[in-house]
Amino acid sequence: MRARCLLFAAAPLCAALAVRGEAATAATVFIHDATVHTLTAAGVLQHADILIRDGRIAELGTRLTAPGSAERIEAAGRPVTPGLFGGIGYLGVEEIGLEPAADDYALKLGGAMRPEFDVSSAFNPDSVVLGVSRLGGITFAQLGPATEAGGSIIAGQGAVVRLDGEVAAPRALFIDAGSDASQLAGGSRAGEFMLLSQAITEVRAPQQLLPNDQRLLTPAGRETLRGYLGGTHRVVVDVNRASDIRQVLSFARREHLAIAIRGADEAWRVAPELAAAGVAVILDPLDDLPQSFDMVGATLENAARLNAAGVKVVFSFADPEPHNIRKLRQGAGVAVAHGMPWEAALAALTRNPAELFGVADRNGSIERGHPADLVLWSGDPLEVTTLADAVFIQGVAQPMRSRQTELRDRYLQKLRAHAAR
């Protein structure tokens, strides 16, 4: 029954058999005859089988034999990819936009710089946004707190979360710069670098601090920031203007920060420098308008040009609102339509973010021995007419239900009753 359910996961009737809470244990599953995009050196495997046992990919190859106990999914050539990345944002820390009581994504302590703020502890694995996003084939996302009025240019930290509700171990630090944040730095983007330098000095040379000095950081903040100065933990800086990106590259080199550039609408103009520095770019593939003077160079070809220059690209919407992150693969498809190789666009939704945020051992690729984190698609995963047919996170088949399918099915009955009258 279960295998049939996976097979016809699209059908509301069948999917209703697997509701959240009943699917918490990893069954042995055999996916037969899939086109497997491994995102590893193995590339694309045609007519491949995947055996998932004890939550891991036990076997991956052609003409495998299914154990008798395994639930069988007939892929019939359909694509299987690693689970997709949902971008950086507020998944599980914003239930409803515009409702402060349902939002936890920003710290507004009157301008204090608090890098020790870790938004991950506010994460709600029961947010209905997770279920909706899982149906879109998303299995992991990076929490990134916001910089808002009343906060500071250091927004704080966030973890990678998996859409089964797990919070992964690595943390990244988020800094906002450019015109978006200049009001939090005295009204000038030059103030942003001044404040960052001061904060770093407080960490590196605490002995120079006198009791009455105006300090930016608390002792806990200094401790947190110290962890990001060694170049091992990821620091994400949000800037768009080409000159700001150059400033950030130079600042990061000087201070030994392991940065990634987020936003990056004009990154294509700085592509050789980014490639030389080995700095990844996290961009919105749908940005092509001069929303601000920082983005006059925005173009749908940003991703294609960066990729061609050898820069590692990761997709994330500029808007961190979590509800429609399932749209991100549409953005990847648009990037392909504007010159990015298809394989590179898929990597920007899978392997690249998993590597960038330190979870490549569990997300972003399909590899023997790894936890099974994968999606079976009805067709080309970057195509808007394609839907996810089955989703596995850490080896567990996810229920293909969400609050939205509940609403759909309730009113579908009403629609059909009306049509029948």
Partner 1 sequence: MTRLCCFLVAAALSGCATQAARPAKTSAPAPAPATTIAPAASFYPSTYQPPPGAPTLIRNATVLTGTGTRLEHADVLLVDGKISAVGTALSAPASASVVDGTGRWVTPGLIDIHSHLGVYPMPAVAGNDDGNEATSPSTANVWAEHSVWPQDPGFRTALAGGITTLQILPGSANLIGGRSVVLKNVPSVTYQGMKFPDAPQGLKMACGENPKRVYGAGKKVFPSTRMGNMAGYRAQWAEAQEYLRDNLEYQKKLAAGAKDAKAPKRDLRLDTLAAALQGQILIHMHCYRADEMAAVLDMSREFGYHVAAFHHAVEAYKISDLLAHNGVCAAMWADWWGFKMESYDGIPENMAFVDAAPGGCAIVHSDSDEGIQRLNQEAAKVLAYGARAGLDVPPERAIRWLTANPAKSLGLESRIGTLEPGKMADVVVWNGTPFSVYALADLVYIDGALRYDRAHPEVAPRSDFLLGQPAAPEVTP
Residues from 383 through 412 that contact partner 1 (CB under 8 A)? 383-387, 404, 407-408, 411-412
In the complex, the smallest distance separating the C-beta of residue 178 from partner 1, rounded to whole angstroms, is 10
Is 91 one of the binding residues for partner 1 (CB under 8 A)?
A: no
**Contacting partner 1 (CB under 8 A), which of 76, 96, 190, 276?**
96
Sign of the torsion angle spanned by Cα atoms 399, 402, 405, 406? positive
The count of C-alpha atoms lying within 13 angstroms of the C-alpha of 300, restricted to the half-sphere facing its C-beta, is 11
Residues from 349 through 378 that contact partner 1 (CB under 8 A)? 378
Residues from 229 through 288 that contact partner 1 (CB under 8 A)? 238, 242, 262-263, 266, 268-269, 286, 288
Q: Which is nearer to partner 1, 147 or 394 (CB)?
A: 147
In the complex, the smallest distance separating the C-beta of residue 320 from partner 1, rounded to whole angstroms, is 6
In the complex, the smallest distance separating the C-beta of residue 217 from partner 1, rounded to whole angstroms, is 21
Q: Is 245:294 a contact under the CB 8 Å cutoff?
A: no
Q: Which is nearer to partner 1, 50 or 155 (CB)?
A: 155
C-alpha R_g of the chain: 22
In the complex, the smallest distance separating the C-beta of residue 233 from partner 1, rounded to whole angstroms, is 19
Residues from 15 through 54 that contact partner 1 (CB under 8 A)? none
Give the residue from 143, 83, 120, 134 showing the smallest Cα distance to 370. 83
Paired with 174 in beta bridges are: 156, 236
- State both tokens at 234: 């990821």
Q: Which is nearer to partner 1, 48 or 141 (CB)?
A: 141
In the complex, the smallest distance separating the C-beta of residue 162 from partner 1, rounded to whole angstroms, is 20
In the complex, the smallest distance separating the C-beta of residue 138 from partner 1, rounded to whole angstroms, is 13
Is 192 one of the binding residues for partner 1 (CB under 8 A)?
A: no
Residues from 289 through 328 that contact partner 1 (CB under 8 A)? 289-293, 295-299, 301-302, 317-324, 326-327
Per-residue burial over 113-151, b if 16 or more Cβ lie within 10 Å, else e, is: bbbbbbbbebbbeebebbbbbbbbbbbbbbbbbbbeeeb
Q: How do beta strands 138-143 and 84-89 pair?
A: parallel
Task: Say how many residues make up the chain.
Answer: 421
Q: Which is nearer to partner 1, 47 or 408 (CB)?
A: 408
Residue 56: phi and psi, rounded to 5, are: -115, 160
